[in-house]
Structure 1
């Protein structure tokens, strides 16, 4: 696999979006901003978001939708690496933001669901109908942890529903090519879940125990972050500790592609053949470009 370092000096990059002009727009969680990176590695601030912008995606309106965790990490520097630490006591919750690329307007669309504040929105994916699934990672507390959840919301701001609750650490989220399955990476347990979709925006009833079907659990101590889906239906999940991308086949088999960072957090696909992969290596603040062995799944909306 050909791998190229495109940019460095980023403040915990995540949420890459492959843009039609060949650039990549990503979030810098610690930097509290969206940043555009051109093919030659030039960096340009798109918007200061505040909080902790984590995931990002283009919506049906051509705007960038952002899952913002509200600043749910204290940042630690260890052995030259930037590591997300515990949640600070000042944290009050996160939000879903919308940034209009044409007008430059940033607005908050959702902060609550059924009167309950969102804790730490993390990752996002739009379905063909124009609504979006997003994960809420939860956060740490002095006594333990606030649970996370999976939500579905409409891009006109009219509806948000909690589809799964009491999850340990929901992170990466994506859709199968036929959109009958929501894939969810559970960070702390190293597990990829498959949640069956009953209808657009509604999950089928889950089993008596667990969030859904288990695709696979990674052995030993490996943590899962955000993900992207291949056109074939394989699920590419950024892997922490065993730094790289772990590819899960829906049958449960896995393969691993190593990248030079302990904390690899995200992957997205682009290019004319969808075989260009952009990978965020967050603890070292770098963005890599790789020629992927198989095409990625084209997202429903691009800009």
Structure 2
């Protein structure tokens, strides 16, 4: 059984890890309202002051980072934490100098919009999950997976009920979507704003699927969130369970160039790593600029 080592501590409800070419890992701190960078030696530096509650991150073509900001909400025990600086849910672009700008326009469906995770597709389209009003689970609305073009405009959207969450493209070219409230992971063919029909790939044995990622061999890693484990799948079959321990709440993961699976444990405030000796699946990148109708509310750090 693989055991995790601690990479960094003291993070404020971390999510959305992204491996960077210099060996650092970008993480969002939901309750810190920030995008931070964890150096290889474990040092943590705040890069972008995002406001709201940054929920996921993705690397852009020129080294910038994109953040799915749900506007100011995270889970806290049996209740919810609300950000001191509430903003409209949006996608933000964080420059290498820390400048933060909203780059998405109006998102489809009723508000509140709760952008959760994001990733680029093979053609440079940015895909974002909008989990809808998950603070009201008995009456949660259908969410969406939204395709954004280079100008931040919505190219198309797929309605997904029961809280669409983590996103990742697989080696088969399909977009994989965690559907948290059904414990399922779906896969869908997509190009630009045109979506196919989602197919159920797997159902988690415990917990709720949150973030997910692939390695170069095609293994799929799914964070079980309240299940306190990361589940590894090969060809849709459960191959290994990586326990994260009591009180951890693993939210998302990425495979680094160092051969390790990096996992954010929200409740302990840690970034941990499992030394699995695997290679990352090369990620697609793209660039999204500032759109004219973007909501305000984010600002540069300092």
The answer, yes or no, to whether TM exceeds 0.5 is yes
Identify the residue that residue 5 of structure 2 maps to in structure 1: 4
Q: Pick closer, same or farther for the CA change 1:177–1:201 going to 2, 3 Å.
A: farther
Identify the residue that residue 283 of structure 1 maps to in structure 2: 267
Unaligned runs of 5+ in 2: 287-302
Q: What is the Cα deviation at residue 253 of structure 1?
A: 3.8
Report the TM-score, using the length of structure 2 for normalisation: 0.84
Structure ranking higher on relative contact order (CA contacts 8 Å, 6+ apart): 2
Identify the residue that residue 92 of structure 2 maps to in structure 1: 97
For residues 201 and 68 of structure 2, the distance between their equivalents in structure 1, rounded to whole angstroms, comes to 25
Query: Is 1:182 matched up with 2:175?
Result: yes
For residues 35 and 160 of structure 2, the distance between their equivalents in structure 1, rounded to whole angstroms, comes to 30
Query: Is 1:156 matched up with 2:151?
Result: yes
For residues 28 and 211 of structure 2, the distance between their equivalents in structure 1, rounded to whole angstroms, comes to 13
What SS class does the counterpart of residue 224 from structure 1 fall into? coil
Q: Give the number of the structure whose residues are more often strand, by fraction.
A: 1
Identify the residue that residue 231 of structure 1 maps to in structure 2: 216
Q: What is the Cα deviation at residue 3 of structure 1?
A: 2.7
Kept in 2, the 8 Å contact 1:99–1:106? The answer is: yes
Q: What is the Cα deviation at residue 93 of structure 1?
A: 4.0
Identify the residue that residue 242 of structure 2 maps to in structure 1: 257
Q: Pick closer, same or farther for the CA change 1:131–1:50 going to 2, 3 Å.
A: same
Identify the residue that residue 45 of structure 1 maps to in structure 2: 46
Identify the residue that residue 253 of structure 2 maps to in structure 1: 267
Q: Give the number of the structure whose residues are more often helix, by fraction.
A: 2
Query: Is 1:298 matched up with 2:292?
Result: no
Instruction: Please tell me the root mean square deviation across aligned C-alpha atoms, in Å.
Output: 2.5
Unaligned runs of 5+ in 1: 207-211
Kept in 1, the 8 Å contact 2:27–2:36? The answer is: yes
For residues 142 and 24 of structure 2, the distance between their equivalents in structure 1, rounded to whole angstroms, comes to 35
For residues 252 and 152 of structure 1, the distance between their equivalents in structure 2, rounded to whole angstroms, comes to 29
Query: Is 1:131 matched up with 2:115?
Result: no
Q: Map 1:44-123; keep pairs closer than 5 Å.
A: 44-73=45-74, 76=76, 78=77, 85=80, 93-102=88-97, 104-113=98-107, 119-123=113-117
For residues 118 and 162 of structure 1, the distance between their equivalents in structure 2, rounded to whole angstroms, comes to 19
What SS class does the counterpart of residue 271 from structure 1 fall into? coil
For residues 42 and 166 of structure 1, the distance between their equivalents in structure 2, rounded to whole angstroms, comes to 38
For residues 118 and 222 of structure 2, the distance between their equivalents in structure 1, rounded to whole angstroms, comes to 14
Identify the residue that residue 291 of structure 2 maps to in structure 1: none
Report the TM-score, using the length of structure 1 for normalisation: 0.84
For residues 233 and 84 of structure 1, the distance between their equivalents in structure 2, rounded to whole angstroms, comes to 37
For residues 169 and 143 of structure 1, the distance between their equivalents in structure 2, rounded to whole angstroms, comes to 12
